[in-house]
Amino acid sequence: MRILLADDHELVRETIAAFLENEDGFTVVQSKDLTEVERAIGSHDAFDLILLDYEMPGMNGLDGMHKIIERVKPKPVALISGSANKVIAQHALDQGAAGFLPKTMAAASLVNAVKFMTMGEKYAPVDFMTKEDEVQRHPLQDVLSEREMQVLDGLTRGLSNKEIAREVDLQEVTIKLHVKTLCRKLEAKNRTHAAMIAKEAGLF
């Protein structure tokens, strides 16, 4: 069984790989970002399952997952994450993911889930997907004002300053100032980078 495991945290990646390689018949190839995933797909025989970390470089939310699914189908592609909530997990499943694995899973459960998905089945932990919604605030929400969150929402949707200004009923020059403040608070290089940070954080 050939598994491609992608995660930018080396310790997490090595630990999960060790769990899997302790099982007879498992071979794990590791990647640290989406670029390496694409390179591995091009240079190896087909993988029986690809596991992608939701927040690693190049993923851009679920866009990276969808890109890999389209490239390797009908082979299964699943998402792993230590931070994504059940809404993101459900979106991933709806968009064709073979499963969703929280990094908090016990080793035996993770191995069984991988086996399940390689057989063509979908997997997501029932307790994770059905637990009551908790009011969770991302740390960024404590840094940004309500108005800045509205402007950031516009940026993630690709709106111009003028379009955002019209939507929130402010002057365009005010939006420009909000964008500047957003970039400073998020340590973003520009408006596009700010939007990427927000998407990767699952704010919108």
Q: Residue 9 in 3-state DSSP?
A: coil
Give residue 75's identity as a one-letter amino acid code: K
Residue 113 CA from chain centroid, whole number: 19
For the segment 138-149, the average pLDDT, to the nearest whole number, is 81
Is the pLDDT at 138 greater than 80? The verdict is no
- Average pLDDT of the chain is 90
Contact assessment for residue 28 and residue 5, using Cβ atoms and an 8 Å cutoff: yes
Q: How confident is the model at residue 132 (pLDDT cuts 50, 70, 90)?
A: low
> 103-121 b/e with 16+ CB inside 10 Å = b?
bebeeeebbebbbbbbeee
Per CATH, the homologous superfamily of domain 2-130 is Response regulator (3.40.50.2300)
Domain boundaries, the chain: 2-130, 139-200
Bigger pLDDT: 177 or 82? 177
Complete edge-to-edge strand list for the sheet that includes strand 77-81 = 27-31, 2-6, 49-53, 77-81, 99-102
CATH topology of domain 139-200: Arc Repressor Mutant, subunit A (1.10.10)
Is the pLDDT at 29 greater than 70? The verdict is yes
Q: How confident is the model at residue 92 (pLDDT cuts 50, 70, 90)?
A: very high
**pLDDT for 166:** 93
* DSSP structure string for 101-167: EETTS-HHHHHHHHHHHHTT--B--HHHHHSPP-----HHHHHS-HHHHHHHHHHHTT--HHHHHHH
Bigger pLDDT: 119 or 133? 119
